[in-house]
Structure 1
Amino acid sequence: MTADEVFTVLDVGGTTLRIGAYDPGTDVLSRVRRVPVDGLHRDPGAPVPVLQRRVVEQIVCEVAAYTGGRPPRALGVAFAGPITAAGLVRAAPTVWGRRGDPLPLGELLTERTGAPAVVVNDLTAAAWRYAATEPGDFCLLTISSGIGNKVFRGGEVLVDADGHGGELGHWVCDLSADAPLCDCGGRGHLGAIASGRGVLAAARRAAHAAPAAFRGSRLASLCDSRADGIDNRAVAAAVRAGDPFATEVLRGTLTPLAQAITSVFTSVGVCRYILMGGFALAVGEPYRRLLVAELVRLGCFGLEPEQIDALVSLGVADDDHGLIGVGRLLAARTPLASARGAS
């Protein structure tokens, strides 16, 4: 496999930038490198235009370092935010916070790297990974720094040319005046409540509100009994260990997520929901079981409990979803790659 035969693929999320090489002939991803994103996560006080410039510069520098300064054969970027068909990033709450001006990321990267760049939403890219193995329509849900979803139906991801669709994380599910604040600046959004960051905030609030219960929990033992020392890794480990305190915190965040899923189910009729994202997969099967239990409690019209259980599955336990997906999407859009892969 030479540099001329592979695509350079990136997945830019709210916390981590991943870059790798995807061979369209063998469907193999290799040489994955991970670095922190130079965005909101590292500098939450910086203005949106500053963070936008930093992220673009970081992508350009990472691509140059990865390819030894040579223009890639093609560049595919899975990016966390709504994106138009032309590669215009309309918003990126987990990457640079409040909306700011739309960023023509596809155009900028094509100019700066010398390679044709395709930029798509990270969940759109990930859906292309699962489209190769799912026998029918499905909804992909990510629970990580934020929450997103994409419905894959009839061989396509259901979004319009302006990037609308698949943003359940910004559904307003809490109308109270003191509802949690979303990274985008809105209040009461699903992502502010049920994402990894939302669960972390809920765990810290619960620890401050019920200090005795917290001190007796498995979660406390994982963070030196300090509420402010709780992190997502500790929450996930405590839930996996069956800790009642951490489990109840997580359960409390899952009601609006279950409501969102039932809304998609009853309105569109998709009967497969695949969970991915760093937080959901870190918790693993206990997360799936808790979500299913909440779906059963709420009810999915026309389904029995065992059918509801079959609705939800965990995705592959890695963080390569966007990289593999955008590689497959590039291959589908590149005639020479498609022909080579079929030979």
Structure 2
Amino acid sequence: MGNVAGDNRPVIVFDLGGTWWRLAILTPSGVLADHDRHPAVTKAGTGSNTATLRELMVQFLLAQTRRLLEIHPGVVDVGISIGATTNGHTGQILASAPLWGDSADPFDLRATLRENEPRTRWWVVNDVTSLALAITSRPEVRAMGVKIVAAVTVSSGIAARTIDVESGEVVLDRVHGIQGEIGHLPAVVSAPLSADLPVCDCGAVGHVSAIAAGKAIERQLAQLASILGADATTEPAPLARLCAALEHNNPHATAFLDSVTAPLARALLYLLTFDPRIDHVFLSGGVVDTLADHYMNSLYRCLEADGLYLVSTHQPTVFRDRISRLESDGLDPLRGAGLFARRQSLPATARPGGRNH
């Protein structure tokens, strides 16, 4: 795992996303043991206010940690990957549209947990940062010879992180401690989507996540159900119905998919333009996993329609060469949370690369 792993003690790990809350023990050998998952407790799902949702999250973390400590009494560290914008310099959670909607009151989750359960060392990290750490620990990625990669997740939210493969360093805004919140960039809406700009979970109008994130896609599919065709109505979920329609070469489904990948494609185009150090971009998340090659081919079509100035002219395959779907079991944020906890528990002088919240 290179030098991002720190020591190899077992770590209790959590991944708190907008759909599932997962937990496990990351063993010294890197295996995830006692893996479990629970439906996420969110504003969209419950209608509860932010204070209540945060309290429910804290109680969930405490209860599950205490349960695992009974089974694994020697564990000292708990790593929490969370689908929220965090200040990497302080560890404070700044906002989470998938979890808490438009609330933007800072929340020191780590301090709250430490006060309630002082037996363990608590570490909180953004979920895309934890994903990036897990990616850079993969032998096949390190064997690629790449120096800087970007991890992009497309699930209930959208975000990116660029990371130095060797050191594990994620460069952050010096003042605010954030990086890669591309889901909250403004997006252009194209047909067949409504001309009315959709509202993002964060409360703003017309963000990339409001069009291209998983729940946004499902909402749009509900309004445009006719594009899926009558033969696909037996599938259990909107994304599965869309996938079935794409498998049947439904042209309306293809046009719809291109319209929801276009905002992300434009964001990635800007990312590659402004940061030429990026050797490769890895995409993951529920939307990418469900739609698989259909999603990637749509993204490539949108990117190639614009092109990377002067680069695409000489290397027409540049996007297919530099952007790929991460083959994953969906548990990499758990692994990354464990890697983060291990490196943060080291003395400051022994940590490679610096902070990575």
TM-score normalised to the size of structure 1? 0.86
Matched, 1:293 2:293: no
Equivalent position to 1:19, from 12, 19, 23: 23
Equivalent position to 1:185, from 195, 203, 206: 203
Measured in 2, the distance between the counterparts of 1:196 and 1:125 equals 20
Measured in 2, the distance between the counterparts of 1:39 and 1:71 equals 32
Stretch of structure 1 that moved more, 241-250 or 280-289: 241-250
Equivalent position of 2:157 in the other structure: 146
Structure 2 unmatched runs, 5+: 1-7, 351-357
Equivalent position of 2:128 in the other structure: 123
TM superposition shift of 1:124: 0.5
Q: Percent identity?
A: 26
- Which amino acid in the other structure matches residue 300 of structure 1? L
How do 1:194-209 residues align onto structure 2 when only pairs under 5 Å count? 194-207=212-225
Kept after mapping to 1: 8 A contact 2:84/2:127: yes
What is the aligned-residue RMSD (CA, Å)?
2.4
1:180/1:6 Cα in 2 relative to 1: closer, same or farther (>3 Å)? same
**Which ranges of 4 or more aligned residues in structure 1 deviate by more than 6 Å?**
none
- SS, match of residue 305 in structure 1: coil
Stretch of structure 1 that moved more, 66-75 or 107-116: 66-75
Measured in 2, the distance between the counterparts of 1:214 and 1:326 equals 38
Equivalent position of 1:51 in the other structure: 53
Q: Deviations over 1:96-122 (max 9, x none)?
A: 111242110111122223211110100
How do 1:111-260 residues align onto structure 2 when only pairs under 5 Å count? 111-114=115-118, 115-133=120-138, 134=141, 135-153=146-164, 155=167, 156-160=169-173, 162-174=176-188, 178-207=196-225, 211=226, 214-216=228-230, 218-222=231-235, 231-240=238-247, 242-260=249-267
Measured in 2, the distance between the counterparts of 1:100 and 1:26 equals 38
Kept after mapping to 1: 8 A contact 2:228/2:242: no
Structure 1 unmatched runs, 5+: 224-229
Q: Deviations over 1:25-55 (max 9, x none)?
A: 3222222110012222420x22122212112
1:185/1:128 Cα in 2 relative to 1: closer, same or farther (>3 Å)? same
TM superposition shift of 1:240: 4.5
TM-score normalised to the size of structure 2? 0.83
- SS, match of residue 68 in structure 1: helix
Matched, 1:102 2:106: yes
Equivalent position to 2:69, from 67, 70, 75: 67
Measured in 1, the distance between the counterparts of 2:179 and 2:108 equals 19
- Which amino acid in the other structure matches residue 172 of structure 2? V
| Number of residue pairs the alignment of both structures matches | 321
Kept after mapping to 1: 8 A contact 2:159/2:183: yes
Measured in 1, the distance between the counterparts of 2:288 and 2:60 equals 28
Kept after mapping to 2: 8 A contact 1:206/1:249: no
Equivalent position of 2:327 in the other structure: 316
Equivalent position of 2:354 in the other structure: none
Greater relative contact order, per chain length (Cα 8 Å cut-off, separation 6+): 2
